[in-house]
Structure 1
């Protein structure tokens, strides 16, 4: 990825985060106000869940700016780690919100249920679900090359699920009120919260797992690893080189690749080594990342371990 492409990617990422922040503010405030008026814990939870995303989107914006800053004497490798750190924080915060929702729902059930209007639950669920789907669709395309933006899309998808669960629960509550079991409808609101938490619990775990994988310098995604191996294999075949040791990891927008060949004595000079480097690095420059690659030829096997 060249400088212009990298700058364009950063600008697109920040637009996604800004749109997500503004959209979350509108939906979150509306949900909390509606929930307080209708005395509906499910709506208040959905609003708090969405408003929590505002702080997380702001943190993601800061992480994006930090990651885009140039390496310095104090941070010679830059601040790309800010991206997975922000993703982990977002996952942890969403997980904490879900835990709070479970505790509140259980307390409501123990207290005898909620007087929430089933009509309010249904209406809000439909409107908020449509709104969340539209926002996720708007963000999806520019989020393909950004971990931070993908985290925002995951959050909006989780919000969509929550809203649809509320809508279905509201419809079920309205039907229940017309039966002999109508008295149980007071438990629909807290039960909806528990169902929504169960459905969305995997999403924050996914964010935490992906962020920690990068922070612990795990291997890049399989499709990226395959591109790296293909580039190395092509160069190996062209220059008659032995099978090398390949190490790679992705940290935010940066891709680190290290390739070590153990070669015979008196057959290679610096110019030939540079040709091997270009054969590999030029291919990897096509990837949508800030590439930091080290391709080494050595006659000492102990230096390639």
Structure 2
């Protein structure tokens, strides 16, 4: 399935859950369900942001972006993660206020019905995102839907516990269940945006890719270096979005087996073949020099 179609599915799915959650939350007087609806509404806006960025990424603009637009992907993911973090913080503040005020009465029959519906629906959309996660934007959407699935599952368990407590002498605890669930879920959800910000922040700053990718590249460079008796090969690499940037400055000498432009191109071809197993688009630059100062 195309990236744009997957993102459109995410937008419509989030919109449906947002409307249902907000209406159902008001009917059942549940802060937790209202939070779920608000989260889904934020999801609509963030999915639209992903669609707009995807459309912009597809536009050719070599004059202004000679090195591509891949940095837009991690930037969008960071913006989305910051917005989700703010929503979670606001929810934590609200839930603490509710607990201090004595909790909130909830229509449990309505709340249980919504929680069951939301858990199943969010998981279905998450699976669709997960099986089509060929883009960092879709991976971020999938993470968001997984968060929503866990949110709905926790809500379902929480409301069931509240219903059980309502049949016991501990019924006085029931009003605290709803804001307590918001507090716990929001606190946990803050860890997911943090992870996304950390990963995509590294890409935005053009830091090195993951350890396994670095090791594969280093191994390929070392093999070519030995094969052609190169004096030195200085490697620089970074990953932005789905593009892997590899820059290699090769120092040759009289004993090296690289003399002509054709042989230099052969080195480039061998490196490209050795890196073919890395599932990313590659931007490979190999420079040759006899003076080590040009590698610094």
User: Normalization by structure 1: what TM-score?
Assistant: 0.91
CA distance in 2, matches of 1:228, 1:142: 27
Aligned residues: 294
Q: Is the aligned partner of 1:264 residue 2:253?
A: yes
The offset of 1:286, in angstroms, is 5.3
Equivalence for 1:115 = 105
Query: In 2 relative to 1, CA 290–66 (structure 1 residues): closer, same or farther, beyond 3 Å?
Result: farther
Equivalence for 1:52 = 42
Aligned pairs for 1:264-303 (under 5 A) are 264-265=253-254, 267=256, 268-285=259-276, 287-303=278-294
CA distance in 2, matches of 1:287, 1:28: 39
Q: Is the aligned partner of 1:193 residue 2:182?
A: yes
The offset of 1:236, in angstroms, is 2.5
CA distance in 1, matches of 2:55, 2:117: 34
Q: Is the aligned partner of 1:170 residue 2:159?
A: yes
Contact 1:161 1:200 in 2 (8 A): no
Question: Residue 142 of structure 1: SS of its match in structure 2?
Answer: coil
CA distance in 1, matches of 2:136, 2:214: 17
Contact 2:247 2:286 in 1 (8 A): yes
Equivalence for 2:234 = 245
CA distance in 2, matches of 1:14, 1:231: 35
Q: Provide, for residues 62-84 of structure 1, a one-character-per-residue CA deviation record: whole Å limited to 9, x for no partner.
A: 22222233242122222211100
User: Structure 1: which 5+ runs fail to align?
Assistant: 1-10
Contact 1:71 1:77 in 2 (8 A): no
The offset of 1:240, in angstroms, is 2.8
The offset of 1:50, in angstroms, is 1.0
The offset of 1:58, in angstroms, is 0.8
Cα RMSD (Å): 1.8
Greater Cα offset, 234-243 or 78-87 = 234-243
User: Structure 2: which 5+ runs fail to align?
Assistant: none
User: Normalization by structure 2: what TM-score?
Assistant: 0.93
Decide which of 62, 71, 90 is 1:81's aligned counterpart.
71
Query: In 2 relative to 1, CA 77–20 (structure 1 residues): closer, same or farther, beyond 3 Å?
Result: same
CA distance in 2, matches of 1:233, 1:203: 37
Decide which of 54, 65, 76 is 1:64's aligned counterpart.
54
The offset of 1:266, in angstroms, is 7.8
CA distance in 1, matches of 2:107, 2:113: 10
The offset of 1:285, in angstroms, is 4.9
CA distance in 2, matches of 1:255, 1:228: 10
Q: Is the aligned partner of 1:39 residue 2:39?
A: no
Contact 1:17 1:57 in 2 (8 A): yes
Question: Residue 224 of structure 1: SS of its match in structure 2?
Answer: helix
Query: In 2 relative to 1, CA 211–296 (structure 1 residues): closer, same or farther, beyond 3 Å?
Result: same
Equivalence for 1:236 = 225
Decide which of 119, 136, 144 is 2:126's aligned counterpart.
136
Contact 1:66 1:82 in 2 (8 A): no
CA distance in 2, matches of 1:58, 1:86: 11
Equivalence for 1:16 = 6
Contact 1:120 1:170 in 2 (8 A): no
The offset of 1:242, in angstroms, is 4.1
